[in-house]
Structure 1
Amino acid sequence: MKLKKTTLTSCVLGSALLALAIPGIGHAMPSYPPVTQSRLDNAASSPGWLMFNRDYAGDDYAPYSAINTSNVASLKPVWTSPKVNIPHGFENVPIINGDYMFVTTPLDHLMAFDAKTGKLLWKYTYKLAGDATKTICCDVNNRGVAVYDDMVYMATIDNHVVAFDAKTGKVAWNSALYKPGVGYSIDEAPLIVDGKVVVGVGGGEYGARGFIAALDAKTGKLAWKLHTIPSPSEPGGKTWPAGAYKHGGGSPWMTGTYDPSTKTLFWGVGNPGPWLASTRPGHNLYSDSLLAIDPSTGKIKWHYQYTRNDTWDYDGVNTPTLSNVTYKGKPYKAIVEANRNGYFYAINREDGKLIYAKPFVHDTSITGISAGGHAINNTANQPGLDKQITTCPSFLGGKNWWAAAVDPKTNMAYVPTLHACMTMKGVPTSYAAGLPYLGETFQMIPDPTSPDLGSVQAIDLSTGKQVWEYKTKAPWNGGMTATGGGLVFSGGTDGKLYGFDAKTGKILWTSANLGSPIIAAPVSYEVDGKQYVAVWSGWGGVWPLWSGKLGAPLTKAPTGGQLHVFALNG
C-alpha cells in the first residue's frame, strides 16, 4: 500500500488569512510577561500553559481546582474562534502566557488570541514551499509553538523554524533545517531549554535519516545536531548493515521532555526504515528508542530501546513523562510511557534501566520482557517477502502520539487507547528520494478480543495495571489533560469534550457536539484567577488516512477546525 500524498488546500478564517502579521486594531494590546528560563523550569505551577505538554515533565497536569468534580456539570462555553476551513487534522495544543494564547492550524497558520475574550490579536500565515506537502506521511498538521523571553517559535512542514515577536507577530528570524520534498518535515512543537530551540524532524516512511536540532533562540543559528540513526563510526552504528543508516528513518517527530535538575533532555525516536525488518538485520539503534541527551552539546547520555529490529512501525515517540514511581516498595525517578508496541513502561530516568513494562492492550507482536529488560519480538509474527502475518496491536499502536496525562494526586496515568490489529506482508523496495520507503503492505483489522476500537484507561503507576477503563465503539484519538480538581478532560470522535472523574472514570460532564471530531489534547489555564478549559475540534490525522475499511464509519465526519473555550458561569 502506498503512502498517500497530501495536497495543499485553500483555507479560510473568516476572511482570508494574510501572509503578513497583523496586530490587533482598535483596542489596547494586553500585557505580555517575558518567559524566563526560571519560569519554564517552574511551569508546573504557572497559571498558564507554557509548553506543549504544559511543563518539562510532560505530564499534561494542571493543578487548578476551581473546576472540580462537584461543579464541572456547570461548565459553559465562553468563546469560540471563527471556523478554520482546512479539511485536515487540528492537533494543536494552545500555549497561554499571561493574557496571550498562541494557536496553530494545519498548513502552518499561527494566531494570537486574548485568552479571556477570544479577541484576535494578530495572525500569520507561513508561505510554504511549493513541494512541502509532497512527502508528508500523516497529514499537514502543526502541533504548536514554544515561547521564550518575548518571542514565539514555530516549526514548519517544509523544515523551517521561525521566531516571532510575541506581541506583534513580526518575524525575527527564519532558519531552514533541511530542504522540503525529499522526505523530511516538521509538525511538532519546539521545546525551549537554556536559550535553545530544540526540535526533531519527521520522515521515517520516506527513508529520511532522523535528527534533533538545537537553534540559538536569539539568532536562529544552529547550536548542535544529533542524528538519531548513527553512522558506523558512532556508538550504535554497528547495529545496522553497511550503508543502511543513510536512509534508516528513526524520526524524532514528537516533542520531548526535560529534567532541569540533571539538565537532561528526553526524546523519543520513531520507526526504522524501511519497515521490513529482514532487510536490515540488527538492533537498529536508535530507532524505537528513548534518548537521554545533554542539551548543551547534543550528546547522548544513555538510551533505552523499546522495540529492537522493529518491523511493525512501533515508533517510540510517545511523550516520555517524568514521574516519581514507587514499584515493589522502592522509589524511582522514572520516565513513564504507553508505547506503540502495546506495553506501558516505567524506566529509571537516571540510568535508563527498565523498572517495569506491562501490556495495556492485546499484544501478539511482543511476547514478554527479557531478563535484560527488553521486549521479546514474536518472530512468527514478523512479515517477510511473500509472507503475510496477522498481529496486534496495529501499526498505529496501542497508543499513538495522543497525549497521556499523569496525575500526582491519584498516582495514575490516563491513556487514550486504540484496540486494533493488522495484517502485513513484505514486498521488494529500494530507496529513492521523495518516494515511500516501506517494503510492506498493511491493512488494519478489528481486534478479535475487543468489540470496541477505543478506550480511555487509567493505569496505576505503582503497578502498571489498569484501574478503570471507559470503552467506545469508535476509536479514541483525543489527548488527555488531568487537573487538580479531580478531573480528566478528553475529546471523542463524536465531537464532544468529556470530563471524567479521575478516580473512577465516571463521566461528570459532556459538552455539546463541537462540530467535528476531536484529536487534539485539551488545556486548562488560569487568567486573573479564573480557570478555563480549551480544545480544538477538527477531524483528520492518522486515523482517516490509514484505518482503511475499519475507519469507514468516520469517512464522512465533518472537518474544519474551531477552538472552544469553557469556564464556570460562562
Structure 2
Amino acid sequence: MDKHFSRFILKALAAATLLNCAGMAAAAEADYAPVTDARLKNAATDDGWLMYRRDYTSRGYAPFKTIDTSNVANLKPAWDWKSDFDMGHEAPPIVNGDYMFVTTPKNNLIAFQASTGKQLWKYEHDLSEVGLKTICCDVVNRGVALYGDKVYMATLDNHVVALDAKTGKVIWNESLNAADVGYAMTLAPLVVKGKVIVGVSGGEYGARGFVEALDAETGKQVWKQHTVPLPGEPGGDTWPKGAAETGGGAAWLTGSYDAETDTLFWGVGNPGPWLATLRPGDNLYTDSVIAMNPDSGKIKWHYQYTPNDTWDYDGTNETVLTDITYKGKEHKALVSASRNGWFYAIDRNDGKLIYAEKFATATSITGFDANGKAITDPEKRPTVDKEVFTCPSFLGGKNWWPISVSPDTHMAYVPTLHTCMTMKGAAVSYKAGLPFLGETFLVKRDPAFPNHWGSVQAIDLNTGKQAWEFPSELPWNGGMLTTAGGLLFSGSADGYLYAFDAKTGKVLWQSPKMASGVLGVPSTWTVNGKQYVGVFAGWGGGVPIWGGEMAKDPKVRNIPLGGHLYVFSL
C-alpha cells in the first residue's frame, strides 16, 4: 500500500475515533433531559418522579399501570443499595430519565442509574464544623429538587447547594442562616418559575420561621417571607409584646403550587414556647397553611388549624390540591390530615373551611365556629399547675409522613398514629440554641385503640369520612404512594413495603423483609417502558426519641436501624 495513502487512512481513522468519542460524550450528556418549567408544570404525566411529591399538587399519585392489581404479586427486587448511616432515612427517590437522586442523613447526595442501581456520583456536604445540637428529631433530609441541569439540596447547616446533575460538581452553595443557633433545614426544596423555594426548621428552639426563594441559576435571594409577623405587620397583633421574635412557626415541609391561580401553599409549624399561657393570642401564622405569591412571597390568605397551639400540633403537614364535591357543591380544594387529629378540606382560592372531620381521637379541638375557626377545650390546656391528658399526642394523628390522593378512587390515604399524652407546663426562658418548650410530656396509648399504635386509612374526599382501615400493631410512619394501576404503596415499621388494593384496602403484595423499619417516602418511575417502585428503609426520626410509652414498647424498641434503599419491578 502506498505510504501516503496509509498515512491518510491512519489520519482518517484517528479523526473518526475522535469524532466518535466526542459523539459518545455528547450523547452521554444528552441523555440527561433538562428539567424545564414546562416539564415541572406537567410533572404529573412525566415518566420520572421530578419532585418530592411528584407534581405541584403534592398528591403522590402516578399514572402508571404496568404494575397493577392483577400482577403486583409478582413484584421482585430489582436492585438495592446500603447507606453509611443507621438512622432515619426519609427521602423519596427523585428520578429524571434514567438518573436517580437520593439523600441520606447528614446531607449526602447520591446519583444512580435508576434502572440498574449503578452509582454515578456522590456528594458529601461538609458538616465537620457544625455541632448539629439544634437539630430536632434526627439529622434527616427529605430529598432534592431538579431544575435545568441542576439538582438542589437544603442542608442541616442552613445552606442550599446546587450541583451539576450529571457530574455532582458544585455550581453554587449559599448560606441562608447561621448553624447551631436554632435553625436547620431538612425539607426537599420546591422549584417554581426559576426559583428554589425552601423553609426552615427550628420551632422547638425559638427560631422565627421563614420561607425563602433563591434564584435557581445564581443562588441569590429573591424574597424571604417570615411566618411570624412582628408588631405593625398584618397578624402582628396576635402576639404579646416581644414574643414574635422567638415565636417559632417553622416551615419545615415542602409546599405545593397551583399554576392556575399562581399561588404557592406552605404549611407553618408550632409556636414557641410550647406553653401557650406565655403567649396569649392566636399567634399567626403558626399552625397554619399560608397562600403566597410565588414572585414576591407576599401572603394572600391563611387558614389556621390550631389557634394558640399549646400541644405542638403544627400545621406543616402537606397541602394536597384536589377537586371535591361536598354536599352537592364542587370545590377547588386543599386537603390536609393535621397533627391535631382532624382531616381538613379548605377552599384553595380563599382559605375558607369546607369541612373538617376527625380521622384520629381528638379531644383538644372539639369543633369549629361559624367562621371555620377551631374551638379548643380549655380543660385540655396545660399550665404550670395543671397536668392534662389529651389526644392526639404531640406526635399527632399524623406526623410529617405524607398522605396520597388518588383521582381514580377519590380517596386520601393517611398514615395514622393512635396516641394520646399527658402534658404539664414548666418554667422556661429563651436562650439561643437551647430548647424552648416550657412543657413536660409523655406519649401514651390511645385507650380507643388498645391493640395498635398505627393504621393506614382511606378517607372519602367528598365526605371526609373513613372508607377503610388497615390496623397496625406498630406505628405506621411510612409515606403513601398511589398509582393508576389501582394500588397504594406504603412501608411499615417492621420492614416491609406493602401494596394495597386502593379501593378496598386488601393487601395484594408484601415485599421480602427489609433491613430496617420504613420512614421513607416511596416513589415510582418508568425507564424504557418498565415501571419501578423504590423506598428507603431506615428507622429513626422523632418516634424513637420522643415516643414515650410507644418508644418503650419492646416491639417498637427492637425495630432495627439501618439505611437501605430498595427498588422493585416485575
Q: TM-score, normalization: structure 2?
A: 0.94
The offset of 1:291, in angstroms, is 0.4
Per-residue displacement from partner, 1:408-458 (whole Å, max 9, x unpaired)? 010000000000000000001000000000000000001011121100000
Partner of 1:52: 52
Partner of 1:344: 343
Matches within 5 A, 1:117-516: 117-451=116-450, 452-516=452-516
AA in 2 matched with 1:243: G
The offset of 1:475, in angstroms, is 0.3
Per-residue displacement from partner, 1:12-51 (whole Å, max 9, x unpaired)? xxxxxxxxxxxxx9x9678100000010000000110000
1:69 aligned onto 2:51: no
AA in 2 matched with 1:162: V
Per-residue displacement from partner, 1:369-398 (whole Å, max 9, x unpaired)? 111102111110000012100000000100
AA in 2 matched with 1:55: D
Q: Is the contact between residue 129 and residue 158 of structure 1 (CA under 8 Å) also seen in structure 2? A: no
The offset of 1:93, in angstroms, is 1.1
Q: Is the contact between residue 453 and residue 550 of structure 2 (CA under 8 Å) also seen in structure 1? A: no
Query: The residue matched to 2:180 in structure 1 has which SS?
Result: coil
Partner of 2:22: none
AA in 2 matched with 1:241: P
Question: Of the candidates 549, 554, 564, which is equivalent to residue 562 of structure 1?
Answer: 564
AA in 2 matched with 1:524: T
Q: Is the contact between residue 196 and residue 215 of structure 2 (CA under 8 Å) also seen in structure 1? A: yes
Bigger helix fraction: 2
Residues of 2 paired with 1:132 and 1:321: CA distance?
35
Query: The residue matched to 1:157 in structure 2 has which SS?
Result: coil
The offset of 1:85, in angstroms, is 3.1
AA in 2 matched with 1:63: P
AA in 1 matched with 2:324: V
Per-residue displacement from partner, 1:99-155 (whole Å, max 9, x unpaired)? 100000000000000000000000010001523411011100010000000000000
The offset of 1:557, in angstroms, is 2.2
Q: Is the contact between residue 132 and residue 158 of structure 1 (CA under 8 Å) also seen in structure 2? A: no
Query: RMSD over aligned Cα, in angstroms?
Result: 1.1
Moved more, 281-290 or 132-141: 132-141
Residues of 2 paired with 1:515 and 1:30: CA distance?
36
Matches within 5 A, 1:94-133: 94-133=93-132
The offset of 1:278, in angstroms, is 0.4
Query: The residue matched to 1:346 in structure 2 has which SS?
Result: strand
Per-residue displacement from partner, 1:202-246 (whole Å, max 9, x unpaired)? 000000000000000000000000000001121000000001000
Per-residue displacement from partner, 1:184-214 (whole Å, max 9, x unpaired)? 0000000000000000000000000000000
Residues of 1 paired with 2:445 and 2:568: CA distance?
36
Per-residue displacement from partner, 1:157-198 (whole Å, max 9, x unpaired)? 000000000000000000000000010000000000000000
* Structure number with larger C-alpha Rg: 2
Partner of 1:39: 39
Moved more, 135-144 or 125-134: 125-134
Q: Is the contact between residue 394 and residue 421 of structure 1 (CA under 8 Å) also seen in structure 2? A: yes
AA in 2 matched with 1:119: K
Give the fraction of aligned pairs with identical amino acids, expressed as a percent: 62
Query: The residue matched to 2:106 in structure 1 has which SS?
Result: coil
The offset of 1:84, in angstroms, is 1.5
AA in 2 matched with 1:566: F
What runs of 5+ residues in structure 2 fail to find an aligned partner?
1-24
Q: Is the contact between residue 341 and residue 359 of structure 2 (CA under 8 Å) also seen in structure 1? A: yes
Residues of 1 paired with 2:266 and 2:409: CA distance?
26
Structure 1 segments, 4+ long, off by >4 Å, are 27-30
Residues of 1 paired with 2:381 and 2:569: CA distance?
50
Residues of 1 paired with 2:354 and 2:549: CA distance?
39
The offset of 1:556, in angstroms, is 3.0
Residues of 2 paired with 1:152 and 1:444: CA distance?
39
The offset of 1:558, in angstroms, is 1.7
Per-residue displacement from partner, 1:525-561 (whole Å, max 9, x unpaired)? 1111111100000110011011123212222322121
Residues of 2 paired with 1:30 and 1:508: CA distance?
39
AA in 2 matched with 1:401: W
AA in 1 matched with 2:479: G
Residues of 1 paired with 2:192 and 2:361: CA distance?
38
Query: The residue matched to 1:107 in structure 2 has which SS?
Result: helix
Q: Is the contact between residue 492 and residue 518 of structure 2 (CA under 8 Å) also seen in structure 1? A: yes
Residues of 2 paired with 1:318 and 1:298: CA distance?
20
Per-residue displacement from partner, 1:234-281 (whole Å, max 9, x unpaired)? 100000000100000000000000011111000000000000000000
AA in 2 matched with 1:546: W
Aligned residues: 542
Q: Is the contact between residue 99 and residue 114 of structure 1 (CA under 8 Å) also seen in structure 2? A: yes
Q: TM-score, normalization: structure 1?
A: 0.94
AA in 2 matched with 1:114: Q
Q: Is the contact between residue 445 and residue 549 of structure 2 (CA under 8 Å) also seen in structure 1? A: no
AA in 1 matched with 2:502: A
Q: Is the contact between residue 30 and residue 99 of structure 1 (CA under 8 Å) also seen in structure 2? A: no
Partner of 2:5: none
AA in 1 matched with 2:557: T
Residues of 2 paired with 1:365 and 1:359: CA distance?
12
AA in 1 matched with 2:257: Y
